[in-house]
Amino acid sequence: MTGKTVVTGVDGLARCPWGGLEPESAADYRAYHDEEWGRPVHGDDALYERMCLEAFQSGLSWLTILRRREGFRAAFDGFHIHKVAAFTDADADRLLADPRIIRNRAKIAATIANARVAAELEPGELDALIWSYAPDPDGRPVPRTFADVPAITPESTALARDLKKRGFRFIGPTTAYALMQACGLVDDHLADCHVRLNRA
């Protein structure tokens, strides 16, 4: 999608190119693009969930994750940090056999390990940690085409480094930037996207 600008959907609204795909994936992507992506997310459990889903997405299409999200939530006890932190080897084996999720041993292990790290933090500390890496929005140019949207930034690199230092796994600079985009630390909706225009 490099160089692409907004696309107009069947509903007449201009969207970022990935959010206006037609026709099969349109409903899933449209809803996520319009209602979630780039909107601020707060709360330790909510940010932990997004971190986990972004890690599971690595190497896959985001649509694959979207269509399994409820399965992920059911399999991982709603992504409640302290519940997942208590998972045992038997739980990991159960997850490896669960068709509702992506059955990747390393990603499942990282999800459980990351919950244990997060459980050691004070309430609100994960939220504060992640949001401390949000760049100043006034210092960022508004992207006009998909080519203007970076894959990593100095902030995502620093966030990934900090999380890794604390013991978090499976979150490098690219995954950290995807997390920042998904959770509203940055707004990468294109200049002519209806979501950005309606926020102005």
43: helix, coil or strand? coil
| Dist CA 45 CA 92 (whole Å) | 20
Answer whether the bond into residue 17 is a cis peptide, omega within 30°.
no
Active site residues: 32, 54, 62
Taking alpha carbons only, the member of 20, 28, 114 closest to residue 70 is 28
Residue 7 pairs in a beta bridge with 15
CA-closest candidate to residue 53, choices 125, 107, 106, 96: 107
Query: What value, to the nearest 5°, has the Cα angle with vertex 42 and ends 114 and 118?
Result: 20
Q: Which amino acid is at 144?
A: R
Neighbours of 84 (CB within 10 A): 25
Tell me the CA end-to-end span of the chain in Å, nearest whole number: 25
